Amino acid sequence: MKKKLVFLTGAGISAESGITTFRDSGGLWEQYRVEDVASIEGYYRNPELVTNFYNERRNQLMEVEPNEAHRLVAKLEEKYDVCVVTQNVDDLHERAGSTNIIHLHGELRKITSSRNPNDPSQIETLPEGRSITYPDDRARDGSPARPFIVWFGEPVPMIEAAAEQVGTADILVVIGTSLNVYPAAGLLNYARSDAQIYLIDPSPANVPQYMNIHIIAKKASEGMRQLCDEL
- Distances 52 to 55, 72, 133, 180, 213 between C-alpha atoms, Å: 5, 33, 8, 31, 41
**CA dihedral (185, 176, 24, 96) positive or negative:** negative
Pairing state between β 196-200 and 4-9? unpaired
Is the peptide bond preceding residue 144 cis, with omega within 30 degrees of 0?
no
Q: Which residues contact 121 (CB under 8 A, 6 or more apart)?
A: 140
Interhelix angle 220-230/68-75, nearest 10 degrees:
30
Residues near 99 by beta carbon (within 8 Å), at least 6 away in sequence: 74, 77
Task: Out of 70, 103, 105, 214, pick the active-site residue.
Answer: 105
Q: Tell me whether residue 93 is one of the annotated catalytic residues.
A: no
Known catalytic residues are: 105
